[in-house]
Structure formats: structure tokens, C-alpha cells
A and B are shown apart, each in its own frame.
Chain A
């Protein structure tokens, strides 16, 4: 199915990442710059896989405290309630707003985990030079890049509540360590997907 595809590398060409100007590929890409915009030319993103791995691992590490630690602490005169992400989801579900519970669940649980899995699949398949379903993997990359920042929903909610709910004696909301970790998770997954070069998917030779 991909017989018709010829890559620029095969044709001895290189494109500028900034302005998209296509040029003859020089002997050494290192040090050369775009003839039109002057941006440094890179054949592929430097250390793409390494960086992606690093950010992904960091994100996965932080995801554990993000879920186990308190996301938000609600304090009223009689009680202080600590909520983690999952306890919040359960609370919303029990409290009779399953739509909200679903949104929070999708944004805070499904999206990050989906991103981890997708990036893992991409990284492993590129490193092993797998030629399977390159189009599908490229689409997967596009999706995770698009939806990645929506995971910040939770962090926004907590940040807003902390800022707005300040009735000193009667109630207040504090952000817990979980919120910081979760924010870190979202940022790191975004950085991981940014440092991944989707062109690597196509670099492996076609199976004959």
C-alpha cells in the first residue's frame, strides 16, 4: 500500500522545518542552514527518541503520585476533605452528575494513560524498525499531539477553585501535591510528544 510513497531522503532532498523550503540535501546536514529563512537544517529532530523516552518516563513516574496524592483539599469549619483524582470522579458519579464524572475521567485518567500507551507503541515500533501500518501510527501521533493539553482540565479546575473559594472561616480549597504532579505529567507528556519525530516512522526500509 505504501509502494507509491517516496521519501525526500530517498530523493536526496531536505526540507526546512521552519519555512518548509525544499533543498538539495548537503553532504553534512550538521551546520547547514536554510537558504531562505536561515534556520538551521536538521535531517531529523536531534535525539528524538532519547528525549521522548526521557520525558515519557518522567511523566509516567509523576503519574503515580499524581493519582495517589491529594489533588484538592476542601476545608469547611467542621471537616477537611482530601480528594484524589479518582475519589473526585467517584464523588461526582455518586453525587449524581455522571456527565461531569465522565469528563473528568476522560481528561484526567484516560487521556494521560492513552498518551503513555501511544508514545510507548511509537517509540518501540520505531526503535525496532517495524514497517507495520505507518499511516495509522502517524495518525495516532497526530491525535495525541492534539488532545494532549486537554488533560490540563483538572489542573485548571483546581487552580480556579483555589483562587475563588476563599471564605477563610467557612471554607477554602487548597491544592495538594497531586495537582502539581498531575500538571507535571501533562507538561511532560506534551514535551515527549513534541520531541518525537513522526518522520522516524517512515525511515525504516519498506519490506519487500
Chain B
């Protein structure tokens, strides 16, 4: 190119640069932009990746199973692996970008499968579509990538309105997850969890009360177990109490706020769960007094929880029954522990305490010591003859030798006397013994002989006495008839008598006129009768003459 014979310089031929920009390079540029754009979009759509541990991967499929929040798909299962120790399944889930808020510390995950429980049937749709993972997105700001999945769906989701509370119970009863909480028999919440206390002495239940009913839970609200059918055979007889059909099956909790107005209780407040409504509604017993009682009689029918009664007031309850052997008396004894709540005596207790010189923690004990000195005794009594339940009654009984339990620290020894039931039993036994001693056989034989004699007597009477008697009666009747005839109003005797009486009457009149005439004219006895008009008038004998005479 450069060599030339003429020596005239050639123009510089500029070869186009081999790598000069040509339009063809727009193709990879566009491809890069499109590809990158798609990748970036996908990457933007993709949220964080989280792992959830479940006990089993039943129904979960890689690349298929969705993560749903309120039935909206917000992620998808990428892979399923076993954990290193093979005890659990680790499910890796890709979240959508807009759902990255789901990966916070208090989010909860569970697998939605068809599920039938007492509360109803849920997840039927998953029968066809396959299981999916449900999530309840938490409120925390702290993000988290590894989660432990729940085995059952949570009863309360984070977005539900209301408040949770803790109940402390002696046992779980028939409660379970999802058991309803009732307020005035309206279901207003449910049991969302329970756990054993670390020391194993009580069970803590978490309940959730939906808004707006949560405001009825106030700091002094009482909760009780309204589970199932509560059949109790107490000294008061059989008692059956239920809340609703659901609670009969699934158990339930009921609560009742106090009458007075109170502000609503704080979230997470702790309450005691009473065994039943009666004990929940009982006055709050702050003051307690432990009692020790010894009985030498049978404590059959006396159960833990049986009442300690004072004049019809349930003052406390039996807490324990121990058996001891009394070597001295060579008898078995039942040592019964009881607890009483002196405040249940109300004003009586207050005035008794007021009589003490000083009111301190020992006050209830000293009040009862004083009552014991006034012959307060404990006695086993039969509460219900049908069920044979017994209870301990406290009463002032001066009769009988009291039995004392061996003293125990912290407990007051209450003297006991044999129970009324015991006495009745003894008396009945005595009566039965006496009845047994009666010679019923002999009495029967004698009675039969007597009856036979009586029978003979009756026969004699019938055969001999009766005909004579009949004759006598006949005669008597005849006699009476003739008497009647003689005395009848038409009878001759009657007429005779009447005539006689008339004659007597006339005679009496004549005699009277005679006496009058004589009174007036005594001389007439000697001289004869003058024709005196007065005399004439007074004389009844000539009545015609008198009528003719003018007065």
C-alpha cells in the first residue's frame, strides 16, 4: 500500500475500524434491556424467602402449594426438606414482594387441610385444591425468616378485634382449644390455648373475647367452667346444669362481671377459673382457717369438697381425709382436714372479732377457739339419705365426750362428737333388736286360741240366746201396743178422765162461791141466804140471773 514508483504520496486510506459501532449491536443491547427488565421485574415481584417447620408435609407440594393470607395467594412453596435431625419438615416458601410484611417475628403459619372438629368443618375447599399454608401476619416490626408452623389453625388471628385473657384453673376439665366463652349464654369468645404451669400444679388457659364484648370483662369479673353436663350429687341432691348444646360437647367458659361499674380489664389480665358457677358466685374468701377433725366413726359419704356447715351456712369445705390408727384406743380414726372461711359468717364474725383485744392474722383462730370453749363441736351429719352424702356440721353441743384430733401446726383442732346419723343408726339398731325379741310366734298361737274361744261363744249366743230374745221382744211389743191403745186420745180412759176433771172443776167453782158468800155474809151460815144482788151476782150458779142483771 505504501510503496509507490512515482514518489507521489498516496492519500492515507483509513480503513474503517473493525470494531466501529454498528447498528447490529443494538440487538444485544435491546436483548439485555429486555432480559434485565424481565429479571428485575421478577426479582422485584419476589419477596423474601422464608422457611417454616412443620411436623409433617402432608398435602404440601413443591412449587404448587400456596401461601395464603385471607385466601389471597402471597407466596408459594419452593422446596420441602427434612430437618437435619429428621424430626421435622422444613418448607421453604417464596413470598411475593408485596407480602414481605408477612415475614415478621409474630407471624404464624399453619397448613389448611380439611378439618372436622366440634366447632364445625373447615377447609372443605382444600379437598379438591389440595392443602395450602395459611398465615396470620403479625404486627411486629422485627423481620424473621425461620418460623415454626402451627399444627392447628390459630383460633384468633392478629386482625381480630377483642382482647385475650389468662385463666388459671385447677384442671382443664372438658375444655379444649376452641371451647366457647359465654357471657349471659351468648358465645362471645373462645379458648385459644392452654398450658400446664411449670410446676404442674395448675393449668393456664388463654381465652379470647371478641369485641365489643371484651369490655364486659372487668378486673373483678369471675370466670367459671360451664363445661358439658354438670351432674353433681351433693348433699343438696342431684343437680344438673348445662350452658348450651355446644358446651355440652365441647366444654365452655362463662363469665360474669360484678354488679358495680368497672373499667374494662387490661389485655392479658389473669383471672381464676372456678369449677362451677356456684363457687364462682360464692363470696370471695380471703380469710381462711384450717381445721383438723377426728372421727372414730365411718366417714362413708364424706368426700373431699363436702361442705362444713354452720347453722345451714356453708362455712367451708373438706380438703382431705386421712386414716390413722389410734394405738391407745385400738381403733381406726379418720383425720379430716377442712378449711373454713370465717368471713362467710358476715356481721357475726365481725362482731366476734370486735370482741377480741387485738385484731391480727390470728384473729379468726382465736374467735373459733373461743367458740370451742363455748362448746362448739363438729359432727358428721347425713346430708342426703338417698345418696348417703355426709357433711360436717358445726354446732354448739354440750352433750357427749368430744374427740380431739392430734394437733397440727397451722390448723385448729376442732373437737368432734359422734354424729346424729350415727346416733340414729344406733337407736334404730336398738329398736330393731327389741322388735326381734318380741315372741311373735307365741303371740300368734295365743291369738288363735282366743279367736277360737270367741267363735264358740258367738255360736252359743246365736243358737240359744237369740230365739229367747226374739220372744221377749215380741211380748214387749204387745205390751207397748196395749199401753198405747189405753193412753190414746180417743181411748175410754182419756174420756173418763176428762169427765171427771170437769166435775172436779164444777165442784171447785161451787166451793169458791160458797166460800165467798160465807166471807161476805158469814151470818148466812146461820140465817140462810139473803137475796142480795151482790151475792146473786157473785154466785156462778144461776148464770141466767146474772146476765139479766144490769151491771
Chain A interface (Cβ within 8 Å of chain B)?
A: 47, 50-51, 54-55, 57-59, 61-62, 64-65, 68-69, 77-82, 87, 177, 181, 184, 188, 191, 195
CA of A184 to CA of B37, assembled, Å: 15
Q: Does B22 contact A (CB under 8 A)?
A: yes
The interface centre, meaning the residue of A51, A61, A64 with most chain B CB atoms within 10 A of its CB, is A61
Report whether B31 and A64 are in contact in the complex, using a CB–CB cutoff of 8 Å.
Answer: no
Query: How many inter-chain residue pairs (CB < 8 Å) link A and B?
Result: 73
Report whether B31 and A47 are in contact in the complex, using a CB–CB cutoff of 8 Å.
Answer: no
Report whether B28 and A78 are in contact in the complex, using a CB–CB cutoff of 8 Å.
Answer: no
Given that A69-B42, A79-B129 are contacting pairs, would A184 and B34 also be in contact in the complex, using a CB cutoff of 8 Å?
A: yes
B131 to A: closest C-beta gap in Å = 11
Report whether A177 and B38 are in contact in the complex, using a CB–CB cutoff of 8 Å.
Answer: yes
CA of A36 to CA of B64, assembled, Å: 64
Residues of A within 8 A of B42 (CB): 65, 68-69, 177
Residues of B within 8 A of A57 (CB): 28, 31
* Contact digits for B97-114, partner A, Cβ 8 Å, 1 yes 0 no: 000000000000000000
A189 to B: closest C-beta gap in Å = 11
Nearest CB to that of A76 among chain B residues? B129
CA of A150 to CA of B128, assembled, Å: 38
Q: A61-B28, A184-B34 are in contact. List 20 more A-B contacts (CB 8 A).
A: A47-B22, A50-B18, A50-B22, A50-B24, A50-B25, A51-B22, A54-B25, A55-B24, A55-B28, A57-B28, A58-B32, A64-B35, A68-B39, A69-B39, A69-B42, A78-B130, A79-B66, A82-B63, A87-B63, A177-B41
A64 to B: closest C-beta gap in Å = 6
Residues of A within 8 A of B19 (CB): 50
Please name the 4 residue pairs, one residue from A and one from B, whose CB atoms are nearest each other, closest first.
A78-B129, A58-B31, A58-B28, A57-B28
Given that A47-B24, A51-B24 are contacting pairs, would A59 and B38 also be in contact in the complex, using a CB cutoff of 8 Å?
A: no
A89 to B: closest C-beta gap in Å = 13
Report whether B28 and A181 are in contact in the complex, using a CB–CB cutoff of 8 Å.
Answer: no
Report whether B27 and A78 are in contact in the complex, using a CB–CB cutoff of 8 Å.
Answer: no
Residues of A within 8 A of B39 (CB): 64-65, 68-69
Residues of B within 8 A of A61 (CB): 28, 31-32, 35-36
CA of A87 to CA of B27, assembled, Å: 29
- Chain B residues 15-56 with CB under 8 Å of chain A are 18-19, 22, 24-25, 27-32, 34-36, 38-39, 41-42
* Contact digits for B211-251, partner A, Cβ 8 Å, 1 yes 0 no: 00000000000000000000000000000000000000000
Q: Does B269 contact A (CB under 8 A)?
A: no
CA of A79 to CA of B38, assembled, Å: 24
Residues of A within 8 A of B36 (CB): 61
The interface centre, meaning the residue of A47, A50, A62, A65 with most chain B CB atoms within 10 A of its CB, is A65
Residues of B within 8 A of A177 (CB): 38, 41-42
Report whether A81 and B63 are in contact in the complex, using a CB–CB cutoff of 8 Å.
Answer: yes
Q: Does B258 contact A (CB under 8 A)?
A: no
A78 to B: closest C-beta gap in Å = 3
Report whether B64 and A81 are in contact in the complex, using a CB–CB cutoff of 8 Å.
Answer: yes
Report whether A181 and B38 are in contact in the complex, using a CB–CB cutoff of 8 Å.
Answer: yes
B67 to A: closest C-beta gap in Å = 13
